[in-house]
Amino acid sequence: MSLSQSDFIKAVFDAELDTPEGLCNPEGTPATKRFSVYRNNVAASLTEALEVTFPTVQKLVGEAFFKAMAGVFLRQHPPDSPLLMQYGTKMPDFLARFEPVSHLGYLPDVARIELALTQSYHGADVTAIEIEILQNIAPDALLLAKIQLAPSVHLIRSQWPAASLYHVNNNPDAPDPAMQPEDALITRAEFDPIVTTLPSGAGAFIQALMQAKTMGQAVKIATIDSAGFDLGQILGLLLSTGAITGITERKQNEQIDNIT
C-alpha cells in the first residue's frame, strides 16, 4: 500500500493517530517505533523554535505550560515553510483564542513584539538616510513629503503595557509597567533589533507614515491622538535608529489625499 504525503503529515502532528499504513521497516513490518521517534523529534524541534522566538511569552506562562501549549499549537499549525526561523507567525492569534490564557489579555501583543523582533532581525538591509537630508528640505516641503521606513521597522499598538512587560522580563532594571495602552517600535540600527516604548502620539504618527500619509497628515493624525505629540522627539528617534530610508517630496501640482 502506498503512503500519501498528506496522511504522513497528519500522523506526524497528531499523536493520537497510528503509524501510517505503508510505512514499514526494511523487513516489511510497520515502522511504529521509528515513526514515534521521528514524530517526537519533529515536535521537539518545533517547540524549541517557538521557545527561541517567544522567550518572554515562555517566561510569563512558565516553561512547563509553554511546552504543553506548544504541543497544541504545532498540531493546529504545522509549518508551512522549511525554515524554522519562520515558524510561529500564527502564535499571537493562537494565544488570543487559547482559552487557558484568556485571563492574560496582554499575552498576544507580547508575542507580536517578539515575532516582530525575529522578523526585524531577518529584514532586508536598506541604507538609512543622513539627518542632513531632512535638514535640507524646507519645512513646508517636508510636511508634504512622504517618509519611507526600513523593512526592519515594525509597530505594535496595544491596549496593554505590552512593551513594558517585554522590558521588565528582559531587563532587571526596567520599571514596573503601568496598566495602560502602549505602542512599541521595533527597529534595527545595526545587527540586533530593539524594542522602544513610544511616547504619546508617536504610534499614531508612525502608523500614518506606514500607510503612506504625508508628514503633515501624519502630524495631524498624531496631534488628534495626543495633544502632547512631539514631532522633534519622534523624528530624532527614527533617525537615530536608522528607521528612515527615504523621503519622497511632492511633485509640482500633485494632489495630496485627505488624512482619512
Residue by residue, DSSP assigns 61-107 as: H-HHHHHHHHHHHHHHS--SSS-GGGTTTTHHHHHHH-GGGTT-TTH
Per residue in 39-82, pLDDT (tens digit) is: 777 788 899 999 999 999 999 999 999 999 999 999 899 888 77
139-147: average pLDDT: 93
pLDDT tops 70 at residue 6: no
Per residue in 25-38, pLDDT (tens digit) is: 666 666 566 666 66
The answer to whether residue 155 is domain-embedded is: yes
Q: Indicate if 100 and 144 belong to the same structural domain.
A: no
Of 119, 49, 136, give the one whose Cα is nearest residue 84. 49
Q: Indicate if 53 and 99 belong to the same structural domain.
A: yes
SS3 186: strand
Residue 23: predicted pLDDT? 61
Which domain does 38 fall in, by range?
1-104
Q: Indicate if 130 and 259 belong to the same structural domain.
A: yes
Q: Indicate if 246 and 129 belong to the same structural domain.
A: yes
Per residue in 88-130, pLDDT (tens digit) is: 999 999 999 999 999 999 999 999 999 999 999 998 889 999 9
Instruction: Give the global pTM.
Output: 0.86
Per residue in 146-195, pLDDT (tens digit) is: 999 999 999 999 999 999 999 999 998 888 888 899 999 999 988 899 99
Least confident of 14-23, 78-87, 90-99: 14-23
Q: Indicate if 168 and 218 belong to the same structural domain.
A: yes
206-235: average pLDDT: 96
Q: Indicate if 81 and 160 belong to the same structural domain.
A: no
In this structure, what C-alpha cell is assigned to residue 176? Answer: 514596573
The answer to whether residue 74 is domain-embedded is: yes
Domain count, the chain: 2
